[in-house]
Amino acid sequence: MTKDSMILVKSTWNDKQTFRTVPVTSDCPYVECIWDPTQKVFVVIAKIAMTKMHMLPRLDDNGDQVLAKGIRKNGRMVKEERKTIETFQEYYIEDKEAIDLILNGMCSNVDAFDYKSFLVD
C-alpha cells in the first residue's frame, strides 16, 4: 500500500461531524476507516472477509422487524437472533500516535486535511 491509496474526507457518524478515509486505488487493502467521535476510537475496515456470528433483528414475513413485548436488557425493543454472516475484518485503534502513523502512511491529503481537530477529547 502506498501513501496515495486513500484520501481523508469530512463525514457524519451518529449525527456528529467526523472524518473517514476513502480508497482511491483498487489495490488498497482497506474498505474505509472512520473516527467514531462518540466512542473515541478509529475503526479500520480491511478487505479481509471473515465469517462471524452477529445478533440481527428478527424479521416477519414482510421483512419488518418483530417488536419485543417490552424493552430488552440490551435496551432494544426488537427481537433478535444469532446469524452467521460474512463481514470485513475490523481493527479498533484508540492510541492517537498510532492513528497519526496510519493516516500518514496511507492518505495522500493528510497534510492538507485537519483530522486532528476531530481527535480532541
Task: Give residue-wise pLDDT tens across range 41-59.
Answer: 999 999 999 998 988 999 9
Starting at the earlier edge strand, list the strands of the sheet with 80-93: 6-13, 16-23, 30-36, 41-57, 80-93
pLDDT at 1 (0 to 100): 55
Task: Give residue-wise pLDDT tens across range 77-110.
Answer: 999 999 999 989 999 999 999 999 999 999 999 9
Under DSSP, is residue 65 helix (H, G, I), strand (E, B) or coil?
A: strand
Half-sphere exposure of 91 (CA within 13 A, CB side): 14
Q: How far is 15 from 119, CA to CA, in rounded Å?
A: 16
Task: Give residue-wise pLDDT tens across range 21-39.
Answer: 999 998 999 999 999 999 9
The answer, yes or no, to whether residue 70 has pLDDT greater than 90, is no
| Domain residue extents for the chain | 6-49+85-118
Grid coordinates given for 24: 482511491
Given a contact cutoff of 8 angstroms between Cβ atoms, the answer to whether 57 and 65 are in contact is yes
Spatial CB neighbours of 12, under 8 Å, sequence gap ≥ 6: 18
